[in-house]
Amino acid sequence: MENKFNYKKFFINYGILIAIIGFIFLVMIYTVKLSRKSWQNNLKVCVEKVLEDNYPDTWNVGQFVFINNPLSLSAACYEISNKKTGVKSSAVIIRDTSFYGPVSVVFICDENLNVEFAGYSSLHGRIEQQLLNKKSDKRLEYWQNKIPEIIGAGNNE
């Protein structure tokens, strides 16, 4: 009663398992690559709406700017230009936390890395007014101080 282990059958089964796992990873990577353009376009629309609501007929939103920084998982950057003067700046939309849950905040960063709060995206009514009425919001101050570092790292390529 000799129990022999069949190596050939083991490696065939192991190879099939690895092929299935590899296929699943390829499908996941492909869907992420496909959704990236849609993600960028939808965030661009959000930035355009915030800038149009708070600075009517002032800014043109341009191309997506790649951010080479770990904080880019919570942020996206777009080139913007002033319609009247042609001055180029950057608009950064970033996910921030609030008492009401995560909200998208838009900041404008000029060439000298001066950051200005532009507004909240997809947030209207009483909740937006409550957030805007806070005179000293430490989270907004944090992002205003952090955005020059994020933008600066993105432009060093």
Q: Give the tens place of pLDDT for each residue, 72-90.
A: 677 888 999 988 888 899 9
Q: Which range is most confident: 24-28, 48-52, 98-102, 134-138?
A: 24-28
Q: Give the tens place of pLDDT for each residue, 33-67.
A: 888 888 888 889 999 998 998 888 888 898 998 88
pLDDT > 90 fraction of the chain, expressed in percent and rounded? 23
pLDDT at position 112 is 84
The string of DSSP codes covering 122-145 is S--THHHHHHHT-S--HHHHHHHH
pLDDT at position 130 is 67
Q: Would you say 46 and 23 are in contact if contact means Cβ atoms under 8 Å apart?
A: no
pLDDT at position 79 is 92
Residue 157 has pLDDT above 60, yes or no: no
One-letter amino acid at 22 equals G
From 56-70, 112-126, 130-144, the region with the lowest mean pLDDT:
130-144
Q: Round to whole Å and give the CA distance between 135 and 86.
A: 32
pLDDT at position 122 is 76
All residues at 6 or more sequence positions from 144 whose CB lies less than 8 Å from its CB, including other chains: 107, 115, 117
Residue 1 has pLDDT above 70, yes or no: no
Residue 156 has pLDDT above 50, yes or no: no
CA dihedral over 132, 136, 141, 144, signed as positive or negative: positive
Q: Round to whole Å and give the CA distance between 104 and 60.
A: 19
Of 32, 52, 40, the closest CA to residue 76 belongs to: 40
